Structure 1
């Protein structure tokens, strides 16, 4: 899957999504109040921490959220059923939202890497110890800082490769 973050003239951001199945979408974002796009924070966090079933891993597997509009490719006849089936399975969307928010907030406000906050957010939804070590949290935070700087320095679209291995499991293709 290929993601491209695009500056919207209204001050927002939107994401162009090109899935491996040939379908293309735009994903509306609601980031006007942030200098760092929220969906970029999700993508970075999920990719850098290896979350296959966060928002973008679910999209890679076939989920179509209400904030997405298909712009090219063949529409699946079972898109709604497939989306519901993927989302009904155990996934990391909730923890992705929490951890992405912690990393996003740190980058947005130029704070230190949020090691304790990430572990705290993990503990809100999971009883098991947080699987992300300091190096992984630091990498996700620094990657978002770097991409945020690129985003702010240029009005050009920001390409963001998505690894094929990061895809929600349990749904036949």
Structure 2
């Protein structure tokens, strides 16, 4: 999936998402006060941490957030129901992605030299007291990736990035549909 980050007419950021099914959607940002676009922080963090169920993996699978708008293409006949199932199935991962991307965003935005790994571990522990599932190297990769993407963003004012196919969320099957053969009596 191709994602193009650009400045919007409001001074914020807009991410134009070109999905594999031919549908093109826009995801407006609400980040005029930051030099680093928040949705770009999601992109870098979710990609580095292999989060298929985050914002961009969910969008690639067909989810549509309330603030998104259709630009072109023809959505599937069951797009609203499918999108709702994807968002519901990924609810926990989306929450984690918001928290983790927020920490990575803050670190890159402020240039904070503090070790990022403990900050991410603490933020994660608020939502999930279980063991932290990522390595410190992956966290560092997210910071490096966002730093590099931000430099390109600032130099060019637009940014074209590709979401990996292996990080597309698996859509859950529709509810109430039975599959397979019925038992014979």
Q: Is the pair's TM-score, using the shorter chain for normalization, greater than 0.5?
A: yes
Q: TM-score, normalised by structure 1?
A: 0.94
Report SS of the residue matched to 1:165: helix
Q: 1:68: how far off?
A: 0.9
Q: 1:143: how far off?
A: 0.8
Q: Distance in 2 between matches of 1:73 and 1:10?
A: 25
Report SS of the residue matched to 1:15: strand
Q: Unaligned 5+ residue runs, structure 2?
A: 175-185
Q: 1:147: how far off?
A: 1.0
Cross-structure match for 1:110: 111
Q: 1:127: how far off?
A: 2.5
Structure number with bigger Rg: 2
Cross-structure match for 2:122: 120
Q: Distance in 2 between matches of 1:154 and 1:88?
A: 36
Q: Distance in 1 between matches of 2:73 and 2:10?
A: 27
Alignment RMSD = 1.5
Q: Distance in 1 between matches of 2:156 and 2:55?
A: 26
Q: Distance in 2 between matches of 1:19 and 1:154?
A: 23
Q: Distance in 2 between matches of 1:7 and 1:33?
A: 13
Q: For the Cα contact (< 8 Å) 2:52–2:58, is it kept in 1?
A: yes
Q: Distance in 1 between matches of 2:49 and 2:159?
A: 20
Q: TM-score, normalised by structure 2?
A: 0.88
Cross-structure match for 2:99: 98
Q: Unaligned 5+ residue runs, structure 1?
A: none
* Runs (4+) off by over 4 Å: none
Q: For the Cα contact (< 8 Å) 2:58–2:90, is it kept in 1?
A: no
1:70-122 per-position Cα deviation (integer Å, ceiling 9, x unaligned)? 11111222221111111121441000000000000000000135111111111
